[in-house]
Amino acid sequence: MTAIARVETWLVNVPLQAPYLMAPGVYPGMSRTIVRVTTADGVVGLGEGGDPGDAKVISAQPFVGRDTDELRIALGAAASPAAAMRHDARVVAGHPLAPVEVALCDIAAREAGIALYDWLGGPQRLDIPVSEYFAYRPGVETTPADVARYCARMAEEHGARRFEGKVAVRPLREDVVLVEAVRAAIGPDCALRLDANMGWSEATAARALELLEPFAIENLEEPVAGVDALARLRARTDIPFSVHARDIEALVGAADAVVLSAQACGGIEGTRRTVREAQAAGLSFWFYSGDLGVATAAHLHLAAALPHLDRASQSLLRWTTDDVISSGPFVARDGAVRVPAGPGLGVELDERALHRCADRFAREGPYEYYTGPPLPRH
């Protein structure tokens, strides 16, 4: 038996290089809960929560003295909250204890002296494909030509092969100009995904599908709100759709992929379970963006170990200005990030960076992920 001796949490803020525009508003950066679990033998495991409110829930739990394996199994088997398709484009994690489960999996792999991907059954791949994000960023890229030049530079300087960007921020005619410019800048061989964040009406989305057809769109995320509207659109196009939702059964025939995080799935075991359910339903799975180094490491290990996670995940890594891990933000090269070799997650907290990010949270409070009013639905 290995007992838990201490559970610590920190609330941290990390801003992006510049806020970016999306249909729900403006995204300035990440507010996260960092978790460190230490056993009586001194083994440390790390987790990261997607909501600052996780810290309060975790601190209220009687974890000290619990057996790590027993608690890990119990948290991994916990039922998910009721799943339903969202209508407001706000991704809600809903699993405040997920970062503790991730930390306990980290501990189990560290105690075994192996990388988490080996603890999960061995790697299917070690270079994990990711996409480069593009969006309008006030003061940085404000026109379609600006965004296109940025994407061309990412392809040239970093070997980026997959791009995903925000649409439904401006009227549809400007979205078409943006997509045409980006496609011309990155060429025909790079993958191009779009994310509307439910910013279109059903009628506008239907017209968008017609106008975007010539640009070889690999995926369109959440063109509209609601499963029924999504299903009606899905029947009109060959462009695949993805959503940030866990209701796998309801999504069949309406979406082609679910895009979640380990936090949203309940942790490592919850993600494995969700991926199995998605695969059985014929849906793809990849991870969404907006995490710091601990959660990113967990996603990389899961993507390395699970055969069905063969699609590029979203990435804001290029825009992340700080991190709590000693190696700093992960960096994509040639369109992929190398999974850390372990033991466990293969990342360690940088105490100075951790406290710097925690001090930033103390000064600023939690970021409103979608600051300002939602942009008009077009």
How would you write the chain as a 3-class SS string? CCEEEEEEEEEEEEEEEEEEEECCEEEEEEEEEEEEEEECCCCEEEEEECCCCHHHHHHCCCCCCCEHHHHHHHHHHCCCCCCCCCCCCCCCCCCCCHHHHHHHHHHHHHHHCCEHHHHCCCCCCCEEEECEEECCECCCECCHHHHHHHHHHHHHHHCCCEEEEECCCCCHHHHHHHHHHHHHHHCCCCEEEEECCCCCCHHHHHHHHHHHHHHCEEEEECCCCCHHHHHHHHCCCCCCEEECCCCHHHHECCECEEEECHHHHCCHHHHHHHHHHHHHCCCEEEECCCCCHHHHHHHHHHHHHCCCCCCCECCCHHHECCCCECCCCCCCECCEEECCCCCECCCCECHHHHHHHHHHHHHHCCCCCCECCCCCCC
Kindly indicate the confidence band of residue 82, based on its pLDDT and cuts at 50, 70 and 90.
low
pLDDT for 43: 98
pTM: 0.95
Q: Each residue of 356-368: pLDDT tens digit?
A: 999 999 999 999 8
pLDDT for 40: 98
pLDDT for 290: 87
Q: Each residue of 7-59: pLDDT tens digit?
A: 999 999 999 999 999 999 999 999 999 999 999 999 999 999 988 899 999 99
pLDDT for 273: 95
- How do the domains of the chain map onto residue ranges? 1-378
In the predicted model, what is the mean pLDDT of the chain? 94
What is the mean pLDDT of the segment spanning 196-221?
97
Which CATH superfamily groups domain 1-378?
A: Enolase-like C-terminal domain (3.20.20.120)
pLDDT for 92: 59
**Is residue 291's pLDDT more than 60?**
yes
Kindly indicate the confidence band of residue 85, based on its pLDDT and cuts at 50, 70 and 90.
low
pLDDT for 368: 81
**Is residue 374's pLDDT more than 80?**
no
